[in-house]
């Protein structure tokens, strides 16, 4: 129609302008559609979804999807301050997970925090564990045993025989068979072994300590023998 002269020039310019606007709108729509596709920067599994179908907008501060890689996982444990010196990087550890029918796993210490928790006074240690079958999931509870190597014999005492004085020092009442008296003996303890505590210093094998009724005793108390 334009070539035959039946369409005014001004109408032709108007049609061309509308065509360019439509093409610009199409390009903008395609660009916005491409931005709707999400591409993960790393390999992993979707651990949490922060958006739901139909949501028109999301917070810029939070990611729509959170990815996790659980081919290797960390087991976090709290180590008491009197035991942290014996835990070193590379030490072997084993643990069982009750949620997996007490299945056993093994790993090694990868990191030990140099700063204690202000409330519990414990140090966080992380055990790196291979998880090729992806059986271990974040948040599972486990029972950990450290495979420490010991030299010589251990001196163990029942944990209920150990007390703390006003200066927060651990002690037991040591029995003197000759005088039939109980003497306060300051000790330094180590790890728990079932219902017993390891004594690192202050006691020797074969010495007699008070196990029951220690609450009624004071230093140099006379005891029935």
What are the pLDDT tens digits along the chain (225 aa)?
A: 656 666 677 776 787 888 899 999 999 988 888 877 777 787 888 888 888 877 766 666 677 888 888 999 999 999 888 778 778 888 899 999 999 999 999 999 999 999 999 888 899 999 999 999 999 999 999 999 886 655 557 788 998 999 999 889 999 999 988 888 899 999 998 877 778 888 888 998 889 998 888 888 888 888 876
Q: CA 189 to CA 168: how far, in whole Å?
A: 13
CB 49 within 8 A of CB 58: no
Left if phi > 0, otherwise alpha if psi is -120 to 50, otherwise beta: which for 137? beta
pLDDT value, residue 115: 93
Long-range contacts of the stretch 134-137 (C-beta < 8 A, 24+):
134/45, 134/70, 134/71, 135/100, 135/103, 136/70, 136/73, 136/97, 136/100, 136/105, 137/70
Res 123: pLDDT: 94
pTM score, two decimals? 0.50
The pLDDT tens digits for 104-160 are 999 999 999 999 998 888 999 999 999 999 999 999 999 998 866 555 577 889 989
So what's the pLDDT on residue 147? 66
In whole angstroms, how far apart are CA 6 and each of 13, 16, 18, 93, 155?
14, 16, 20, 90, 111
Q: Residue 63: left (phi > 0), alpha (psi -120 to 50), or beta?
A: beta
């Amino acid at each position: 129609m334009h070539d035959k002269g039946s369409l005014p020039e001004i109408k032709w310019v108007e049609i061309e302008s509308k065509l360019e606007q439509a093409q610009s709108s199409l390009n903008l729509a395609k660009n916005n559609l491409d931005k709707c596709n999400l591409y993960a920067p790393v390999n992993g599994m979707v651990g949490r979804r922060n958006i739901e179908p139909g949501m028109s907008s999301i917070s810029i501060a939070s990611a729509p999807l959170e990815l996790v890689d659980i081919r290797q996982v960390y087991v976090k444990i709290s180590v008491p301050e009197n035991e942290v010196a014996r835990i070193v990087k590379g030490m072997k550890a084993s643990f069982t997970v009750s949620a997996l029918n007490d299945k056993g796993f093994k790993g090694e210490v990868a990191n030990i925090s140099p700063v204690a928790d202000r409330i519990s006074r414990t140090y966080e240690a992380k055990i790196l564990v291979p998880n090729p079958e992806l059986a271990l999931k974040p948040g599972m509870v486990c029972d950990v045993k450290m495979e420490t190597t010991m030299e010589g014999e251990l001196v163990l005492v029942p944990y209920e025989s150990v007390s703390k004085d006003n200066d927060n020092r651990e002690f037991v009442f040591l029995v003197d068979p000759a005088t039939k008296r109980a003497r306060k003996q300051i000790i330094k303890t180590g790890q728990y072994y079932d219902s017993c505590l390891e004594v690192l210093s202050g006691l020797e094998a074969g010495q007699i300590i008070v196990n029951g009724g220690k609450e009624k005793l004071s230093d140099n108390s006379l005891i029935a023998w």
